[in-house]
Amino acid sequence: MKGGDPAKAARHLTPDDLQRGDLRTLEAGQAASRVAALPEVRAALIDFQRRFARGEGGAVLDGRDIGTVICPAAEVKLYVTASPEVRAHRRWLEVGGDEARVLDEVIERDARDMGRADAPLRAAEDAVVIDTSKLAIDEAVAAACAIVEARLPKRR
């Protein structure tokens, strides 16, 4: 997206675009936080995510404002978190680089997202908070599945 129009890119986003491996980089995460603060980009992304969530069979969405802005009426909302240090360490294991820099960037992004005027980062009032700071991935998944199974009616 360097040099491109972020609003145009957001308006033309497709589900296939979400498969790109470079979306998991540190740089992409930082850019997403900055660009999503632009009202025109934000509106296009909200529209895309809401359409995606309404797809046949439902959807599992991951994001910092999914439960508060994108799908406020979702049947189940999980607010999955961990300490900044744990999140930075996990991110560092995923992308490499300088672990101290990764921690600084996690803290900066949290501050930027919590402090923004439009849809600040926070848990939805009806979300179940899962702090994964001391959980292995299989324990976190089991906790999430137990909550979903308890809250959703049995479906056939």
Q: What does the DSSP 8-state code read for residue 4?
A: S
Residue 3 is predicted with a pLDDT of 58
Please state, in angstroms and rounded to a whole number, the distance separating the CA atoms of residues 123 and 77.
Answer: 9
pLDDT string in tens for the chain (156-residue length): 455 788 888 888 888 888 887 877 778 877 877 787 788 888 888 999 999 999 888 889 998 889 999 999 999 999 999 999 999 999 999 989 999 999 999 999 999 889 988 888 999 999 999 999 999 999 999 999 999 999 987 764
- Amino acid letter at 153? P
Residue 102 is predicted with a pLDDT of 95
Closest CA to 95 of 39, 23, 153, 45: 23
Q: What is the pTM of this model?
A: 0.79
According to the CATH classification, is domain 6-151 in 3.40.50.1370?
A: no
Domain range summary for the chain, segments of one domain joined by +: 6-151
Q: Give the contacts of 68 (CB within 8 A, at least 6 positions apart).
A: 119, 122, 123, 124
Residue 57 is predicted with a pLDDT of 83
Q: What does the DSSP 8-state code read for residue 153?
A: P
Closest CA to 133 of 89, 69, 78: 89
Please state, in angstroms and rounded to a whole number, the distance separating the CA atoms of residues 42 and 48.
Answer: 10
